[in-house]
Amino acid sequence: MPATRTPQVDKVLYSASSSDISLSGEIGAHRNSSVSDCLSEVDLESGALDMDVHLDNKTQRDCRICHLGLETCEEECGGAIELGCSCKGDLGAAHKKCAETWFKIRGNTTCEICGAAALGVAGEQTKRGA
């Protein structure tokens, strides 16, 4: 259907087909929660905010390059290393082979996130300098 143009706002007019309606109905049918499930009442005047925070209690760290668990592919990935840059947590850790390949492709050992040298990465790229 052609677009109708007004001086101030562009509008595209179309009619929803029955397939559009049934598709959105299917998507909505699979939702496990709704906005009302997430709403809670907060007293802003009391000065205190009591809020339950549900965290994943994540104990396994992930490789920042391939995003697999550091313990997942020990043999084929060469084990986990700390990159030695200024990044902390998952950002400071990677599989050895992932890190060596990544920095070899980059052509230097400068971390693209924090800008510091990744001192924990060995290989031919460190011989060329950072």
What sign results for the dihedral spanned by CA atoms 118, 121, 124, 127?
Answer: positive
Rounded to an integer, what distance in angstroms lies between the CA atom of residue 93 and that of residue 108?
A: 17
Assess if residue 47 is contained within a domain: no
The predicted pLDDT at position 85 comes to: 95
Average pLDDT over residues 97-109: 94
Assess if residue 25 is contained within a domain: no
* Structural domain boundaries, residue 101: 74-127
Our count of domains for the chain comes to 1
Average pLDDT over residues 106-122: 92
Average pLDDT over residues 104-124: 89
Tokens for 44, please give them: 């802003």
Average pLDDT over residues 115-121: 93
Q: In this structure, are residues 123 and 96 in contact, taking their beta carbons and an 8 Å threshold?
A: no
Rounded to an integer, what distance in angstroms lies between the CA atom of residue 100 and that of residue 79?
A: 12
pLDDT of 83 > 90? The answer is yes
Assess if residue 88 is contained within a domain: yes
Assess if residue 98 is contained within a domain: yes
Assess if residue 102 is contained within a domain: yes
pTM of the model: 0.50
Assess if residue 68 is contained within a domain: no
